[in-house]
Structure 1
Amino acid sequence: MIKIDAMMVCLDLSDIDEKLVAFSRTICERMQVGKVYFVHNIKLYELGDDFREMFGDVDLAQEVEGNINDIVDEQFANKTAYEVLVSEEPNTEVILADLVKRYNIKLTLLGKKMSTKSTGSLGTKLLRILPCSVLVFPETASFNIQKVLVPIDFSDTSVHALRLSKNLSDQLGLQLEIMHVYRLPSQFFPLISEEKAVRKAEEVVKGKFADLQKRHNEIAGIPYTLVRAANKSIAERISLHLEKGRHDLLVLGLKGNNPLPSLSLGSVPTEMYNTDINVPLWLVYSEEVIK
């Protein structure tokens, strides 16, 4: 059973906040969550002189905290313990990473606007710096989750994401599908036929699945789909399969094994985050990686 001792919900005082708070309520209703922290950081240096002249010495943090409490009272209404935290720091990523460590946060809920409304730059930075798993909730996503898709590449990272997805599906009665996107070494065409190459590639991948199922008996019965990347990226193929299969949640593993933060996510999770998908995206770290 998946237990979340502490969850952090990042709010930005925009329209998506109400959806995030309501979605956090749904998570608490369906999973064991110890405590929820609703957080917002005020960047005082971004406030212009006009603001200061107009409002003077108003306690902005207190006003923001009151606004968040109003949203939480209206949308959360849950027995789960919660706390509202408002800070005034110049660097939002750093203060949020500090909160994760201070309160032993296991999961951070992060809202995401469509690319036409936001660059998503802060979200990308948070994914690279937060030492915990992140659940990204697009503004167009639904709260109703029934089908889960977990793409794997047979790495330890993706196997961890798969096992977590299996536990989640068993716990909540969800439908789970595994996906693997493969590429063919096109530089060898036309030395060998494309049909033969596809057949051989799928044979190799099926062998990997059989070996994986032997090592992890709990995933033996989960259906899996093999998809050739062809002229598209892996992330593009995942997006197409999400839409075709009408999945409600995408789970991807985060590598986190590179000392350079800019290289720690992996290209597929980064590209998927920057894609306008309409389902929540759960980017998971294993406990070993976080440590």
Structure 2
Amino acid sequence: MIKIDAMMVCLDLSDIDEKLVAFARSICDRMEIRKVYFVHNIKVYELSDDFKEWFGDVDLASEIEGNIQDIVAEHFEGGCEHEILVSEEPNTEVILADLVKRYKIKLTVLGKKMSDKSTGALGTKLLRILPCSVLVFPETARFNIQKVLVPIDFSDTSEHALRLSKNLSDQLRLQLEIMHVYRLPRQFFPLISQEKAVKKAEEVVKSKFAELQKRHQEMSSVPYTLVRAANKSIAERIILHLEKGNHDLLVLGLKGNNPLPTLSLGSVPTELYNTDIHVPLWLVYSEDAIQ
């Protein structure tokens, strides 16, 4: 069973906050979450001189905390234990990373607006700096999760994400599908035919799936899909399959202390984050506890 002692929900005082709080409530309903921290950081240096002159005597942190309390009272009623944290620091990424370490956060929930409303620059920075798993909730996503897609590259990291996905699917009775996107090494063409190369590549990948199922027999019944990247990026192939299969959640593994993976996954999480997908994206950090 997946247990999360501490979860952090990042709020920005925009319309998406209500959806994030309600989504956090739905997570608490379906998973074992001990405590949730609703957090917001005020970048004081971004306040205009006019604002400071007009409202200089206002306790801005208290006002914002009251606003968040109202949202939590409306959309988190009956949820698990929670606390509201409002800080005033010049660097939001640094203070959030500090909160993750201070409160031993295992999962951070981030909202994501569509690209025509936001650049997503802060979210990209947080993916690089937060030492915990990150669950990205797009403003167009729905709460009702029934189908999970987990792309893997057969690394230890992706297997960790797969085990978590299987655990989650068993716990919540969800449909789970494994996916692998492969590329053909172009340097061998035209020495060998493309048809032979595809056949050989699929044989190799299928043997890796067989080895994976031997190591983790609980995966033997999980369907998997093998997709050739061809003229598209790995992230583009994942998105196409995500839409075609009507999945509700995408899970990817992250590596090391710097969550953005290297090697075969490359910049896949970054590209997926910067694309307007309409399902939650769970980027799984390797220290998540699966019990």
2:6 maps to amino acid: A
What residue in structure 1 maps to residue 221 of structure 2?
Answer: 221
Secondary structure of 1:118's counterpart equals: coil
Residues 5-154 of structure 1 aligned to structure 2 (within 5 Å)? 5-154=5-154
> How far, CA to CA, are the matches of 2:153 and 2:191 in structure 1?
27
> How far, CA to CA, are the matches of 2:117 and 2:80 in structure 1?
32
What residue in structure 1 maps to residue 3 of structure 2?
Answer: 3
Note if contact 1:254-1:266 (Cα within 8 Å) is conserved in structure 2: no
Q: 1:19 to 1:246 in 2, by over 3 A?
A: same
> How far, CA to CA, are the matches of 2:261 and 2:148 in structure 1?
27
Deviation at 1:52, TM superposition (A): 1.1
Name whichever of 265-274 and 121-130 sits farther off.
265-274
> How far, CA to CA, are the matches of 1:262 and 1:187 in structure 2?
28
Q: 1:263 to 1:246 in 2, by over 3 A?
A: closer
Secondary structure of 1:287's counterpart equals: coil
Count of matched residue pairs:
287
Q: Deviations over 1:67-95 (max 9, x none)?
A: 00000000111241000000000010111
2:42 maps to amino acid: I
Q: Deviations over 1:237-281 (max 9, x none)?
A: 0000000000000000011266xx877694111111111100000
Determine whether 1:199 maps to 2:199: yes
1:78 maps to amino acid: G
Deviation at 1:198, TM superposition (A): 0.7
Q: 1:125 to 1:49 in 2, by over 3 A?
A: same
Name whichever of 188-197 and 178-187 sits farther off.
188-197
| TM-score normalised by structure 1 residue count | 0.96
2:60 maps to amino acid: L
Q: Which runs of 4+ in 1 moved over 6 A?
A: 261-265
Unmatched tracts of structure 1, length 5 or more: none
> How far, CA to CA, are the matches of 1:95 and 1:188 in structure 2?
49
Identity %: 83
| TM-score normalised by structure 2 residue count | 0.96
Note if contact 2:133-2:288 (Cα within 8 Å) is conserved in structure 1: no
Q: Deviations over 1:193-221 (max 9, x none)?
A: 11111111000000000001111111111
> How far, CA to CA, are the matches of 2:266 and 2:220 in structure 1?
27
Note if contact 1:255-1:266 (Cα within 8 Å) is conserved in structure 2: no
> How far, CA to CA, are the matches of 1:163 and 1:132 in structure 2?
17
1:253 maps to amino acid: G
CA RMSD of superposed structures (Å): 1.5
2:245 maps to amino acid: G
Q: 1:243 to 1:81 in 2, by over 3 A?
A: same
1:98 maps to amino acid: D
Secondary structure of 1:24's counterpart equals: helix
